[in-house]
């Protein structure tokens, strides 16, 4: 095995691996520029998600909300596109890279030795007693692992396993810090770590996992 510090992590991985962009048959998605309306749309949708799990209006208001949601779905349905065509998850300047699947994180550091995000969970992610649902954190950590692999210059990889240890309750409406790094590598294998910290530096949860580089043709 080698440590994450071995080699030259700052070099272009395509120099050593001309097929870097084609491992596993993944397309090389490019950033999207959908215009300011998309950012406004995402912000409104995130608020709707929060309200969908917290609002308690009368029956008539639910009926009206359903009508508006159905109208919105009808507006967008003709434009449904394939992965990598729509802007979701392809706008790095927006929280969560423009994906409603992800909590609204922002990348603060993206280097070969470490990836650092700021993230704040909201009411939509509550599991109970105003704490973030435990199942949401593996989603965050898995995304951090993918960023770590990319920042370290390793080819497209899939998660072989992901283990999470919960140390404290994760709060909502609080700016948290997520960190991830490659611990060591062994051929196609990259062993990765991540942690989630509160503003005082307390450890809320930590994760370790194995990312395996895909072979040609692997989905």
Per-residue pLDDT, averaged over 61-70, amounts to: 98
CA distances, 10 to each of 43, 148, 201 (Å): 35, 13, 29
Which tops the pLDDT comparison, 156 or 12?
156
Query: CA dist 34 to 30, 86, 208, Å?
Result: 12, 9, 35
Distance of CA 109 to the CA centre of its chain: 14
Residue 60 has pLDDT above 70, yes or no: yes
Query: What tens digit of pLDDT does each residue of 113-170 get?
Result: 999 999 999 999 999 999 999 999 999 999 999 999 999 998 889 999 999 999 999 9
The whole-model pTM stands at 0.86
* SS3 state of residue 174: coil
Taking the C-alpha atoms of residue 106 and residue 117, their distance in angstroms, rounded to an integer, is 5
Question: How many angstroms from the chain centroid is the CA of residue 39?
Answer: 17
- For each of the domains in the chain, give its residue range(s) and CATH number, in order of start: 14-213 (3.10.129.10)
Strand partners, 126: 132
């Amino acid at each position: 095995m080698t440590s994450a510090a071995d080699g030259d992590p700052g070099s272009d991985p395509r120099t050593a691996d001309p097929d870097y962009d084609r491992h596993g048959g993944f397309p090389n998605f490019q950033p999207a520029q959908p215009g300011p309306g998309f950012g406004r749309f995402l912000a409104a949708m995130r608020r709707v998600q929060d309200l969908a799990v917290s609002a308690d209006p009368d029956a008539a208001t639910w009926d009206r909300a359903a009508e508006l949601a159905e109208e919105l779905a009808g507006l967008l349905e003709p434009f449904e596109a394939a992965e990598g065509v729509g802007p979701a998850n392809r706008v790095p300047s927006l929280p969560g890279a423009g994906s409603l699947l992800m909590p609204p994180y922002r990348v603060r550091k993206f280097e070969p030795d470490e990836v650092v995000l700021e993230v704040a969970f909201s009411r939509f992610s509550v599991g109970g007693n105003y704490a973030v649902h435990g199942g949401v954190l593996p989603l965050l950590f898995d995304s951090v692992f993918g960023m770590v692999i990319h920042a370290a210059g390793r080819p497209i990889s899939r998660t072989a396993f992901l283990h999470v240890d919960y140390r404290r309750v994760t709060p909502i409406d609080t700016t948290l810090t997520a960190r991830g790094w490659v611990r060591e590598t062994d051929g196609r294998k990259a062993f990765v770590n991540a942690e989630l910290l509160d503003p005082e530096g307390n450890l809320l949860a930590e994760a370790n996992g194995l990312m395996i580089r895909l072979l040609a043709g692997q989905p």
